[in-house]
Structure formats: structure tokens, C-alpha cells
Structure 1
């Protein structure tokens, strides 16, 4: 990938791999989210989504942490920037800024390719917003989490309050968001926020890479369809969800991937699918 980002780094660790890594890359600041992040992140995701070489995206953090939340300098600049205008214009401008930042996180769900969060160290505030939008979440045992916004006199507004209840349950989400307490990787696993724990960062990287490679080897049509139908069905009734998947499959079910999958099963070999 040729793009140069201030807050991110993209890596393909093996030239033959269809797994690409998107690192939040401000290790000296604990990967705190700057204004550059919210501009660059959806652009980077879109470039990976449109790249036919990419099958799966792993989001991780450079250095010792996944993400320590919104950069306080960025937060302070937003506060100062709206104080000079009248209250109506300041409020309208702030709303546009919030919607802009929200879209950067929602870009994870809008990405066709599966997005996996590999979490180590701190995952705080905006970090929780990011991982709750990811399709799969894995963590080290010593990672720690916090829905931190109330401690900064903020109502979390980038997605945690909307997505977290569907992952850990309404009551658990309410407790975590109101207390802003720090909780461990073990508790995150018990709550269902992460699917699996790994003993350390190296084990996390190896284990998540194996999972991602397994997904990347599957039919890309089936993978992107599964992601899209699950996300859409989250907000639909069962009947509406069934209707949506019927419409989806009517367009993509009959494909070369299906023919190859059946042939591979019969011949007892691994299927080989065309890139998407």
C-alpha cells in the first residue's frame, strides 16, 4: 500500500497473504485518536475494501496499547473552536463534527471485508467505540477496557452506547458506561465483548492471523454476504431479515464460488476462489 498516513499504518506481512493490517499508529500518545485519525481512517478502510488483494482486515495498535481514547488536545480544540460563535451556530458546527467522527467509526461496518480487532494494552473510550463496530474481537489477557467518556463529562457519541448493548447486554452496557470503570480482558471475555483471550501480544498476533487467514480462504462472496446480512438483520425483525437475505442470495448465490465449493468438496481438496 503506497498511501502515507499521519495516524495510521497499513501492512501486508506476507506477499501471498490476503490479510492486511491497519495499525492505529501514534504509539507515543498511546494511540490516542487525533483529528487526523478521523479523516484518514475511513479513507484507509475504503482503500483496503476496494483492493481485490485484501480478504480480511485486522485493526491493531502500534506499541504498547490498542487505543487510549480521544486525544485530549483534540477534545480541547473542539471545545475552544465552538466558543467564539453564537450558540446556535456553535451547536450546528459541533453536530457536524460529531457526525463526521461517527462516520469514521461506522466505516468499519460499511466495509465489505471482515474487520477483526486485535486488542492489547489499553482499549479506552474511543477504542471501545472502534472495537464494538468490528466484526470479531480478540484480546490479550492483560488488556484493559473502559467506557471512559462520563469521566470527561461527555456522553459517549461515537457508537459504544448504540453497539455495546447488543454485544454485552443492556444492563452490562449501562453499568460499564455509567461507572466508566476499568475492566480486564478476562471480564471482557466473560461479558462477550471479546471472543477469545491470548496469553500475550505475540500469541494474539499469531492466533488472530490464523483466524483471519482461514476466513480469507473462504468464498469472498459468501463472506461479505454473511457480514452484510448479519449487520442488516440486527435492526430488522426475523421476517424482514429473512426477506433481506433472500434478496441478497438471489443476486449472488449462483456463482463460480458455489461451483468451486461443490467441486472441492467432492474432490476432497481445498477450494480456490477468485478475488473480489
Structure 2
């Protein structure tokens, strides 16, 4: 990848691999999110999504932490606008919040699956980000907190909308109102993460193996599965069934079904065209 970002780093897992790593890259600030991040992050995801050499994305943090939330300097700058009347200041603030929300939602809009690999602290906006990811894994000593209420803020980048569907309404309410810290092991108990690893090295190795497994599957089936599951959250059962029928009426005509069937009959690994 040729793009150069101030707050992110992209690297391929290995030559010819379909797995790419997207790292939040402000280790000196605990990977706290600046305004540059909210512009760069959706652009990086879009670039990876359009790249046929990318099958799956692993999102992680450089240095000691995954993400310690929004940079307080960024937060102060966002709310300290002094010019203009109250109505215009409020409208400007709303636009800035919507801008940051779209950066997080870009994870769900990305066709390629995004796996969060979490170590160290995952606070505030870090929770916003991981709840939008498709799969989540962490280390035992990872530290989580829905931190916003401690900063006199109602979390506004997606946690309050996505977390209840992941951990249950009561758990989400308790975590958001108390802002208490909880470990990777409790995150697994709550259902926030899919699996916990003993160390950062084990996390990296385990997530890489999972990503390789998914990357070897039909890209048409993978992106379809992600999209249908996301859409189903807002649909009745009948609407969801109708949606997947419409989706498959187009994608079942691809060569991937023939290749998967042929590979099973021949007892070999299938080889799918890039997307």
C-alpha cells in the first residue's frame, strides 16, 4: 500500500497474503484519536476495500495500547468554539460529531471483514471502534472502559447503539453508566470478545490464523455473510429472509460455487478469484 497516513499504518501479513493489518499508529499518545484519524480512517478502509489483494483486515494498535479514546486536545478543540451564536455553534458541533460517527461506521460499510485484535487499553472511542468490528479478540490483561460518562459526555460514536446487541441491554447500561474498567477475561464473559489469548504474541498468532482461515474462503460468500448479518439487525425475520434471497439470487451465479463444489469432490483446497 502506497498511502502514507499520520495516524495509521498499513502492512500486509506476508507476501501474497490476502490478510492486511491496519494499525492505529500514535503510540506516544496511547493511540488516542486525533481529528486526523477521523479523516484518515475511513479513507484507509475504503482503499483496502477497493484493493483486490485484500481479503480481510486486522485492526490493532501500535505500542502498548489498542486505543485510549479520543485525544483530549481534539475533544477540547471540538467543543471550545467561541465565535457565533449558540444555535450556529450547536449546529457546527453536530456536524463534527456526525463526521466522527461516519469514520466508525466505515468499518461496517467496508465489504471486507474487519477483526479487532485488542491489547492494553481500549477506552471510550476504542469501544466505539471495536463494537463496529466483525470479530473481536483480546489479551487476558486487556483493559476496557466505556469511559465517556466520566468526562461528562454521553457516548456518541456508536457504543450505546451497538454494545447492547453484543453484551445485552442490562450489561451495556451498567458499563456505560459506571464507566468501570473490566478485563479481557470479563469481556469474554460478557460476550464483547470472541476469544481471549494469554499474551500479545499469542493474540497476534491466533488472530492471524483466524484471518488466514477466512481469507481462504470465497470472497463472494464472505462479504455476503457480513452484509446480510449487518442488515438483519434492523429487519424482521421475513425481511431478512427476503434480503438474503435477493442477495443470493445474484451471487450464487458466480464461479465460486462451482469451485467450492469441485474442490470438495476432488478433496483439495479451493482457489477463488480475487474480488
- The answer for unaligned runs of 5 or more in structure 2 is none
Shift of 1:254: 1.7
3-state DSSP class of the match of 1:104? Answer: helix
The secondary structure found in structure 2 opposite 1:102 is helix
Name 1:128's counterpart in structure 2.
127
Q: CA RMSD in A?
A: 0.5
Q: Partners of 1:266 and 1:79 in 2: how far apart?
A: 62
**Map of 2:95 onto structure 1:** 96
Q: Structure 2 CA distance, aligned partners of 1:198 and 1:109?
A: 25
Q: Secondary structure at the match of 1:113?
A: coil
| Equivalence for 2:258 | 259
Summarize deviations over 1:218-251 as a string: whole Å, max 9, x none: 0000000000000000110000000000000001
Query: Which residue of structure 2 aligns with residue 147 of structure 1?
Result: 146
Using the TM superposition, give the Cα deviation of residue 255 of structure 1 relative to its aligned residue in structure 2, in angstroms: 1.3
What is the rounded CA distance, in whole Å, between the counterparts of 2:156 and 2:78 in structure 1?
A: 14
- 1:84 deviates by 1.9
Superposed displacement of residue 13, structure 1: 2.6
Aligned partner of residue 80 in structure 2, secondary structure = helix
- Per-residue CA deviations over 1:147-170 (Å, capped at 9, x if unaligned) read 000000000000000000000000
TM-score (norm 1): 0.99
Q: Give the secondary-structure state (helix, strand or coil) at the position aligned to 2:20.
A: strand
Deviation per CA, 1:165-209, whole angstroms, max 9, x where unpaired?
Answer: 000000000000000000000100000000000000000000000
Partners of 2:140 and 2:83 lie apart in 1 by: 46
Distance in 2 (alpha carbons) for counterparts of 1:162 and 1:171? 13
Q: 1:71, CA displacement in angstroms?
A: 0.2
Cα distance in structure 2, aligned partners of 1:232 and 1:85: 40
The residue number in structure 2 matching 1:116 is: 115
Cα distance in structure 2, aligned partners of 1:31 and 1:91 = 28
The residue correspondences of 1:19-58 to structure 2 (distance < 5 A) are 19-58=19-58
**Offset, 1:22:** 0.3
CA distance in 2, matches of 1:116, 1:70: 21
Give the secondary structure class of the aligned counterpart of 2:228: helix
Residues 104-145 of structure 1: CA distance to partner in whole angstroms, max 9, x if unpaired?
A: 000000000000000000000000000000000000000010
1:243 aligned residue: 242
Once residues 250 and 87 of structure 1 are traced to their aligned partners in structure 2, the CA distance between those partners, rounded to angstroms, is 52
CA distance in 1 between counterparts of 2:39 and 2:234 reads: 28
Query: Counterpart in 2 of 1:189?
Result: 188
Distance in 2 between residues matched to 1:275 and 1:199, nearest whole Å: 34
Secondary structure in 2 matching 1:74: helix
